Structure 1
């Protein structure tokens, strides 16, 4: 994957605000239109192609929206969903002896912790959290944001990891990466057991032995 400097991204966003089309921007900067569209998707345009694309996007989003709207989440369902999320993004035993889930998508992190609370009898005092942020972030502001979002006391946040931002493309609306830890190795093994059993049922022929 090719990376582009934040200067290029900002320059293209400025040009988009002036009314340049994706094709014009692509030809001017020699960058694929699909890449540019991701960088400028939050910038409104009155061009016909933009309005048509947005209408098509909204239609696709709503096409099966009812599936999510009508999906009932009970305790068992929450256990399955959170196990799948943990299978994808969590740290596994024996590398860690706690439930450790890390992501920069705050919507996903919020979903994970709420499903965990619905699916299991959680002791809130066992939660710990840690942020990885850039030197350009205001730590107090980000700490307040994540603490309020996840309903975890600020006192349960460990010292953050602070890094210098790279010269590569900046992520829009980046609030840092949050790692949630829940210190209960039995629950960790329970969750691993759920997704392993699910995998064996769904995958034809079962899973190979580890």
Structure 2
């Protein structure tokens, strides 16, 4: 038990050691104290020297942490930016006055900015990954044989082309799509099927609010057909109340492809499509 006189002397010595920057454990050893309770008592209401707070931490990190804290940044935000633990941040900045809670608007702004930065990096990574997968898958296809073109074209037509109905058999070969790659595939398919480009006629379908002339030029150049093969463009009436996303310079409407006297061609397409679907059915013995 410390006597009152000893207590005054020991506390004075402890304050001196504290001012010199000694740590708690060093002070305890120098004064010969036997418990942390005694140590806490003699150091009560003293402030450690600044060097004791930061230990061996880098001064530039500590100063940057204090700057960020003065700007109102939270412990987790500072720790994430500097790559240190929250406990280190707390040790470096706990003597600074605590800022009040951020306003709702400021919190939203910071959250939005954080999401923007995240998706700027993550979006680029995902696009690169998607492009890599797409390219490798494209390379797996290689050049198609005539048979493979017939299969691909017949299925494309059965998905996107006009088909006979139980109540109406038109037997017309009519294909319409906005994807130029798919349109070119269909034209190539017809060529392999014995239908030359000269046996086709075309019609552009597009909203009246778009650049109609530019779209007509685009499809004419893309198909390589003669201008006489293009029928009058069909304009879709513009409804201002409708929020359309197919707008801008890349919007060129759809192209309709028709085969003149296409009865025999339709019959073949029907057979090729059905033959492909039957052959591709899963069986129990596979």
1:127 matched to 2:205: no
Q: Which has the larger radius of gyration?
A: 2
The answer on whether the counterparts of 1:99 and 1:181 sit within 8 Å (CA) in structure 2 is: yes
For 1:188, which of 259, 266, 284 is the aligned residue?
A: 266
Instruction: State the SS of the aligned residue for 1:130.
Output: strand
Per the alignment, residue 108 of structure 1 pairs with 182
Per the alignment, residue 132 of structure 2 pairs with 62
Per the alignment, residue 276 of structure 2 pairs with 198
For 1:150, which of 191, 210, 223 is the aligned residue?
A: 223
Q: Deviations over 1:97-118 (max 9, x none)?
A: 332111122232223223332x
- TM (normalized to structure 1)? 0.68
Per the alignment, residue 77 of structure 2 pairs with none
1:51 matched to 2:121: yes
Instruction: State the SS of the aligned residue for 2:267.
Output: helix
Q: Deviations over 1:173-207 (max 9, x none)?
A: 221111101122111111110110111122247xx
Deviation at 1:49, TM superposition (A): 1.7
Q: CA RMSD in A?
A: 2.6
Give runs of ≥4 in structure 1 deviating > 6 Å.
none
Equivalent pairs, count: 164
| Structure 2, unaligned runs of 5 or more | 1-108
Deviation at 1:64, TM superposition (A): 5.2
Instruction: State the SS of the aligned residue for 2:152.
Output: helix
- TM (normalized to structure 2)? 0.51
Instruction: State the SS of the aligned residue for 1:47.
Output: helix
Instruction: State the SS of the aligned residue for 2:195.
Output: coil
Q: Deviations over 1:57-114 (max 9, x none)?
A: 3213322533322422111110000011001001113643332111122232223223
Per the alignment, residue 11 of structure 1 pairs with none
1:79 matched to 2:150: yes
